[in-house]
Amino acid sequence: MKLLLPLLLYSIQVTAITLVPTPPSVTADAYILQDFHSGRVLMEKNINKRIEPASLTKLMTAYLVFKKLKAGKIKLDDTVTISEKAWRMTGSRMYLEVNTQVSVELLLKGMIIQSGNDASVALAEFIGGTEEAFASLMNEQAKQLGLNGTHYVNSTGMPDEQHYTTVQDLVTLSQLLIRNFPEYYLWYSEQKLTYNNITQPNRNRLLKRDPSVDGMKTGYTEKAGYCLVSSAKREKMRLISVVMGTKSDKKRIRESEIILDYGFRFFETFRIYEANQPLDFAKVWKGDKKQFQLGLADILYVTIPKGQYNKLRATVFSNPYIIAPVKKGEDYGTLKITMGNQVVLEHPLIALNSVNKGALWERLIDSFFLFFY
């Protein structure tokens, strides 16, 4: 065990810290407020309840298109022929015309800014051949991302009993979309788009009301109610909120404002330790080396009540009986962050270097000392 002093600080386990006011009352059917960097949940209700995602479905549609772009399998200036199915889509639309050629970039903006169902279907057909095949790709991607409460039937969010998600999965997907595709996430903040001589505003009105909000997506069906995923950044802290099942557009905006304001007002997030930075040395027996470095696989952030940073302490725990070989990247210890007598988070520590088995005489000597140790 080693105590690390002072901290500069991905949380696996989080314990509630009672230094902030009770969260405000929110009337949405389900909601969550989560810090983008640390993953700490600051407010929640019914986060694992099965819900209809409505147009929030298009976050996954965009994710798959972004993934193809990043892999170089498609390009932004590739053109898509608009099918009759896409042209006939009802609800929010770009007003695409059948058999016209539209670029992938323009279709993405139409789906993101205008929530175009026609653009979503056109992109789905371009990637998957058919929307049904694309839905299979969506489900496969959901499994890979650990979205275990989600199942897709279409690319738009049109109602279907087998088309569902959870608030927890929505916040996870939003976090991954921002982290993995920052260059495309910028489109979620664009205020309007003109296509076919029709200008439509971004359906997320929170973009105009709160300058710290820079995305993400609205949704509505009669069953789902009015829904909104929001991402906001103030100074170095980014929060993501998901509000589902409110009674009006005005209500989803107001509830989102309340949730975000609570998070920014009473919490702050710190970047404490860097990835692959040595935090301690662990002793190893029967190896060609006597010790190895312990560190973190990823950058570590912590979210705590405001004004409490100086109360944080970090302690390293490692197994004193580690026998070679030691494999780089595997877990060999734990970093525990505490504030007073409360555990803020615990995170595994990995070996930053490998240790091979020692020569026969080294193993024999260590076996002798281990017997008495």
Q: Which residues are catalytic?
A: 55, 58, 115
Residue with the two structure tokens 């087998």: 162
Q: What are phi and psi of 297, to 5 degrees?
A: -75, -30
Contacts of 46 (CB under 8 A, 6+ apart): 29, 30, 31, 167
Strands 280-285 and 322-323: parallel
Judged by DSSP in three states, 311 sits in helix
Q: Name the token pair of 38.
A: 């640390």
What is the distance in angstroms between the CA of the first residue and the CA of the last residue of the chain? 17
Residue 37 carries which DSSP code? T
Distances (CA, A) of 307 to 122, 303, 310: 50, 11, 8
Angle of the 58-70 helix axis to the 104-113 helix axis, nearest 10: 150
Q: What are phi and psi of 263, to 5 degrees?
A: -65, -45
Residue 153 carries which DSSP code? S
